[in-house]
Amino acid sequence: MSTETVIETRELTKIYNGQAAVENLSFSVNAGEIFGFLGPNGAGKTTTLLMLLGLTEPSSGSARVLGMDPARNPIKVKSMIGYLQENMGFYGDLNARQMLRFISELNDITAEIAEERIASALQSVGLAEEQDKKIAAYSRGMRQRLGIAELLIKDSKVAFLDEPTLGLDPDGTNRMIELIQSLCRDKKMTILLSSHMLHQVQKICHRIGIMIKGRMVAQGEIDQLAEEKFGVGKEQYTLEEIYMKYFQEA
C-alpha cells in the first residue's frame, strides 16, 4: 500500500449555533485504504464528511482532499468523491437506470460511456434484474447497493460511506461489506467508512478513527489502539471492547 495521503484535515472545526459539532479535528487517510470512522450518533462524523465534500464550510481549520481544499474548490472535489449519505436520497419515482443516468449527466459523463457503466455497475451490485423498478419500491439493501453503483459510475477516487450497513439484514450486510471490499481491492478506491457495526469494521478496515463529541480521540490501526489501551495485541480484544473503553473515558 502506498503512503500517499488522500484526505488530510488540520484543526478542522465546525460550530453550529455556538456549539462545536467538530472540534480541532486532525486526521489523515492514505490512498487505497479503508478508514473506519467510528463514534456515537451526533459525534460529528457526518458534519466532517460534509466539510470534506465542500457542502459545509468549516468555521476554522483546513481540509485537503486529493490535494485540494474542498471549501475553495468544491466542484473539483465533488467530481472525485462519491458520497453515500445515510438516507441514500434517491428519487423514489425514478427507476435505477434513470437515477444513474441523471447522476452521470450531472457528472458530465457522455451518454455512451454512461450507458456502458450503468449496465456493468448494475450487474456488479446485483440490481440488473430490478433496474426498471421504481426506487420507491426498493428495499433498504437494494438502495444501498444502488448507492455503490453510483460510486462505480462516477468512477470516484474516494468514497465517503455514511452508515452503509445501517438497518440491513445479515445477508444484506454481508453483501454490502463484500462490495465495499471490492471497491477498495478492484477499483483502488480510498474509502472513508462511518459505521456502528464494529464487528464488520474490524474485519475490513485498515485503520480506524474514533470520534466522540466532535473530537478524534484515537486513530490508527486496531492492534495499535489495542496496545495503547490494553497493552496487548488485537487477538485478545475485539474492536468493541476498545471502542467502549474510549467511549467511557471520554
Partner 1 sequence: MRGIQTIIKKELADHFASYRFTIIFALIAMISLITAYMVGWKIKTEMEGMASQSAFLLLFTLPGAMGLFSLVQFVAFFGPLVGLVLGFDTINRERNEGTLSKLLSQPIYRDVVINGKFLAGVALITVMMVSIVLVITALGLIVMGIIPGIEEIWRIIVYLIISIIYISFWLGVAILFSILFRSTATSALAALAIWIFFSIIFPYSVSVMANNIFETAENDPEAIVRRAKVVKVIILLSPQELYTEATATIIDPTRKSSRSIINMSAGPMESLSMARFSGPLPLLQSILIVVPYIISLVALSVICFAISYAVFMRQEIRSL
Binding site for partner 1 (CB under 8 A): 16, 46-47, 50, 53, 55-56, 75-76, 78-79, 81, 83, 85-93, 102-103, 105-108
**Are 134 and 95 a contacting pair, CB within 8 Å?**
yes
What is the H or E stretch that residue 137 is in? none
| Of 47 and 219, CB closest to partner 1 | 47
CB of 196 to partner 1, least distance (A): 15
CB of 56 to partner 1, least distance (A): 6
CB of 235 to partner 1, least distance (A): 36
**Are 138 and 171 a contacting pair, CB within 8 Å?**
no
Strand pairing of 207-212 and 81-84?
Answer: unpaired
d(C-alpha 212, C-alpha 219), whole Å: 12
| Of 53 and 201, CB closest to partner 1 | 53
Q: For residue 235, what is its C-alpha cell? A: 487477538
**Are 80 and 159 a contacting pair, CB within 8 Å?**
no
CB of 120 to partner 1, least distance (A): 21
Q: For residue 165, what is its C-alpha cell? A: 450497513
**Are 208 and 219 a contacting pair, CB within 8 Å?**
yes
CB of 73 to partner 1, least distance (A): 10
End-to-end Cα, the chain, rounded Å: 32
| Of 84 and 179, CB closest to partner 1 | 84
CB of 84 to partner 1, least distance (A): 9
| Of 98 and 224, CB closest to partner 1 | 98
| Of 96 and 225, CB closest to partner 1 | 96
CA atoms within 13 A on the CB side of 151: 30
| Of 133 and 206, CB closest to partner 1 | 133
